[in-house]
Amino acid sequence: MAKTREIYLCSVCGAQTLQWRGQCPNCHEWNTLEASAQSRPAAGRRAAASSGPGGADRPVPLRDVADAGHTPYGSGLKALDRVLGKGLVPGAAILVGGEPGIGKSTLLLQVAGLVAAQGKPVLYASGEESLPQIKARGERLNMLDPNLLALATSRVEDVLDALNGGASTPALVVVDSVQTLTSLEADGLPGNVSQVRAVATALLEACRRSGCTLILVGHVTKDGVLAGPRLLEHMVDTVISLEGDRRQMFRLLRVFKNRFGPNEELLVFRMGERGMQVVDDPSTFFLGARDASLSGTAVVMAVDGQRPLAVEVQALVARTFLSIPRRAALGFDANRLHLLLAVLEKRLKLNFGQVDIYAKVGGGMRLQEPGLDLALVAAVLSSYYDVPLPEKCVLWGEVDLNGQVRPVAAQDLRLSQARRLGFEPIVYPDGGAGNGKEKGGIATIAALQQRLFRRQ
C-alpha cells in the first residue's frame, strides 16, 4: 500500500508546503493553507510507472513523433472555430468559465450536439444535473443525436471508464463541471483544491492518451475569476470566459489563453429560445433602439480584442438637492468619471458643484479601454448644455489630466469601421489615424467643446 503524508495546500493558488504557515509563500494570501493527505508511492512502483508499457514514456526524437489523427475538426459553429483558431483539436483541453446561469451548459450542449451530428461520438458528463434534465434541455435545443451520450455522475472514475471504451472512445468530452466531481485519489469535499487538481489531472491525462478533446466547465468566484487553483489555467490549452448580464439577451465569449490561435478574441451571442445564436455583425448591436435626438448620449467606437464595436455612452446632469452632489457610473470604473469631471472643471471652467452626474454604458456592456474618455466627456457636456450631438457622430480618444486628447490603440481600425458604418462627424485624437492629416482630429477637450457645442 502507498504511504501517505500530510501537506498543506493553498486554497487560492494551489501551492504546496510541508509545514503550515500563516501566509502562503506563493501568492502571499493569509490563512489559506489547508491540511491535505497526499499518497506517496513506493520507489519500485514509481520506477515501474515511469518506464511505461513498452517504454512509451521514454524520450523519443521529436521528428519521429506521429501526428496522425490530430487534425482539428469543426465545432459546428464557424464563428467559434474562428475564435478558437483551428476549431477543436484532438487531445486539447478547453476551460470554460462564467457566472451561474450565464449559459455555459446551454452553449456546450449545443456544441456537443453539433459535433455528434457530424458522426463523431460525444460524451456529455454532468455532475450538476440529472439525465432527464439534460434531455429536456437537449429537446429544447433540438440536439438529441444518437452519437450524443450523456452521463450524470459525481465520480471522475465513471468518466474515465467511459473514455477507455476502445473503439467507442468519444471524440469530444464535456465535463460540467470540474468542481462537482470527486476522485478517490484525493481527500476532501468536491471543489476543494486537492479534488480539483486530482480530477483535472486524471481527465487531462486520459484525454491526451485517447486523443479526444476535453472541455471543462469551471465555476467563478464573486470577483469573476475562475475558482480553484490557478494551476488549472496553466494545465489547459485554452481558457474561455462567458460574460454578460443575465437580465440581458446577449453574451460575450472572450478567449484569454489560446495555444492554437489568437488571444483576446471576442464573440457575441444572443440568447434565444433555441439556445445561443451568433451575432454575425455586432458592430452596432449594442446601440439598440437609440434616439439620437436626446441630449446626454454619445457613441464611442470601442475595440474589444480585435473587434471594433459601436457602443452608446449616456450621461445625465441634473440639479442636486444634496449638500454633496452624487456621482454614479455603470459599465466602467467610477474613478474614471471623477477624474474626467475634475479635468472638465479645471480646463473648461465649468462648475459641477450643484449638480448630480450619472453615467453609464448602454446595452449592458462593460468597457475598460481608455478610448472611452472622449465619448464620456461629450455625453456629459451634451447633458450639461442640454444640446444633443449630431445624429451620426462617433468619438474615441484618451483624455489626460491637462485636457489633451491622446491617441489610443487600433486607430486605423476604428476609423475604417466608423466610415464603413456611415458615421459623420468622426471625432478622434489629432494625428492619431492614417497619416495624421485626416479631417476630424482634435487635440484638446476645449476643441471638442468648440466644435460640438460652439462654446468657449
280-310 pLDDT, tens digit per residue, is 878 888 887 788 899 999 999 999 877 889 9
360-403 pLDDT, tens digit per residue, is 998 778 888 899 999 999 999 999 999 999 999 999 999 999 99
pLDDT at 45: 41
Q: In terms of domains, do 103 and 200 share one? A: yes
**Separation CA 48–CA 137 (nearest Å):** 46
- Is pLDDT at 225 greater than 80 in this prediction? no
Q: In terms of domains, do 268 and 292 share one? A: no
100 is in an annotated binding site: yes
229 is in an annotated binding site: no
The residues facing 217 across adjacent strands are: 96
Helix/strand/coil for 415: helix
103 is in an annotated binding site: yes
In a domain, 439, yes or no: yes
Domains contained in the chain, number = 3
In a domain, 291, yes or no: yes
78-117 pLDDT, tens digit per residue, is 989 988 888 999 999 999 998 888 889 999 999 999 999 9
Q: In terms of domains, do 198 and 98 share one? A: yes
Q: Which of 408, 403, 358 is nearest to 380 (CA)?
A: 358
Its pTM stands at 0.75
101 is in an annotated binding site: yes
Please state, for a pLDDT cut of 70, what percent of the chain lies above it: 90
CATH number, domain of 392, equals 3.30.230.10
Give the C-alpha distances (Å, rounded to integers) separating 281 from 202, 285, 314, 415.
Answer: 40, 7, 23, 17
In a domain, 103, yes or no: yes
Q: DSSP characters for 6-21?
A: EEEEETTT--EESS--
Range of the domain at 172: 74-278
215 is in an annotated binding site: no
253 C-beta neighbours (distance < 10 Å), count: 23
CA atoms within 13 A on the CB side of 210: 25
The whole-chain average pLDDT of the chain stands at 86
Q: In terms of domains, do 255 and 354 share one? A: no
Query: Domain boundary residue among 237, 259, 278?
Result: 278
276 C-beta neighbours (distance < 10 Å), count: 24
Query: Domain boundary residue among 278, 303, 320?
Result: 278
Which secondary structure element, helix H or strand E, spans residue 379, and what is its range?
A: helix 372-385
Cβ density class 342-378: b for 16+ within 10 Å, e for less: ebbeebbebebeebbbbbbbbbbbebebbbbbbbbbb
Question: What is the DSSP pairing of strand 265-272 with strand 275-278?
Answer: antiparallel
214 — pLDDT class (breaks 50, 70, 90): very high
Q: In terms of domains, do 245 and 393 share one? A: no
DSSP class of residue 227? Answer: P
Give yes or no for a contact between 19 and 47, defined as CB atoms under 8 angstroms apart: no
256-268 pLDDT, tens digit per residue, is 899 988 887 888 8
Q: Side chain identity at 146, as an amino acid letter? A: P
Q: In terms of domains, do 326 and 269 share one? A: no
Q: DSSP characters for 20-45?
A: --SB-TTT--BS-EEEEEEEE--HHH
In a domain, 63, yes or no: no
280 C-beta neighbours (distance < 10 Å), count: 9
In a domain, 395, yes or no: yes
Q: In terms of domains, do 43 and 139 share one? A: no
Query: Domain boundary residue among 250, 278, 306?
Result: 278
Q: In terms of domains, do 333 and 222 share one? A: no
CATH number, domain of 263, equals 3.40.50.300
431 is in an annotated binding site: no
pLDDT at 279: 87
Q: In terms of domains, do 430 and 321 share one? A: yes
In a domain, 68, yes or no: no
Which secondary structure element, helix H or strand E, spans residue 135, and what is its range?
A: helix 131-141
Helix/strand/coil for 253: strand
Q: In terms of domains, do 179 and 134 share one? A: yes
Q: In terms of domains, do 13 and 88 share one? A: no
In a domain, 69, yes or no: no
In degrees rounded to 5, what are phi and psi of residue 308? -80, 135
3 — pLDDT class (breaks 50, 70, 90): low
11, exposed or middle or buried, with CB in 10 Å at 0-12, 13-18, 19+?
middle
**Separation CA 237–CA 259 (nearest Å):** 6
In a domain, 61, yes or no: no
Give yes or no for a contact between 240 and 102, defined as CB atoms under 8 angstroms apart: no
> Helix H segments across 237-361?
334-347
- Is pLDDT at 54 greater than 50 in this prediction? no
137 — pLDDT class (breaks 50, 70, 90): very high
- Is pLDDT at 433 greater than 90 in this prediction? no
Q: In terms of domains, do 102 and 240 share one? A: yes
